[in-house]
Amino acid sequence: MKQILILLIVFAAGMGLSVEAGLLGPLGENVGHMSATLCIFLVGSLLLSLALVFARNRSLPQLFAQPRWMLTGGVLGPVYVVVITTTTPIIGVGATMVAILFGQLGASLLLDHYGAFGVQKQPVDRYRFGALILIALALWLIH
């Protein structure tokens, strides 16, 4: 039951990403892609700062004591947002999201297969590879 709830939450978050892409495309066209990206991160940073005030487990000193490579994930968020901001008006929300999903699943399978970054190893089998092929097919069909 817990896993179903988690999957529903992740599903809802995925829906939110599509809505975000739909909003960012026109915003980027109107104010510039970098300005739209900055806006998203400023609003998000303000909301997270407010949430951090009420969070039970917060330890900013420990955050900055971590190896620097762990903090490089912060670079990927803006890259992702700039990409969806610039591509959504050109290829549409659906194709953008399926292409992102294809990239996410491909990278995820590699990370799982090799146990990268300390995740539990999960070998790529024919079912997982088949899922990747089906998403590639979906991208071809939707684009």
* pLDDT tens column, 1-44: 889 999 999 989 989 989 999 999 999 999 999 999 999 999 99
pLDDT tens by residue, 84-100: 999 999 999 999 999 99
φ, ψ at 55 (rounded to 5°): -70, 140
Quick one: pLDDT at residue 55? 86
Going from N- to C-terminal start, the domains of the chain cover: 2-142
Q: In this prediction, what percent of the chain has a pLDDT beyond 90?
A: 73
Q: What's the pTM value of the predicted model, to 2 decimals?
A: 0.82
pLDDT tens by residue, 36-76: 999 999 999 999 999 988 888 877 788 888 888 888 888 88
pLDDT tens by residue, 109-138: 999 999 999 899 999 999 999 999 999 999
pLDDT at 106 over 90: yes
Quick one: pLDDT at residue 75? 86
Quote the strand ranges of 20-118, DSSP E.
none
Quick one: pLDDT at residue 108? 95
Residues in contact with 138: Cβ distance below 8 Å, sequence separation at least 6, in sequence order: 98
Alpha-carbon span 51 to 49, nearest angstrom = 5
Looking from the CA of 136 toward its CB, the CA atoms found within 13 Å total 7
Alpha-carbon span 26 to 24, nearest angstrom = 6
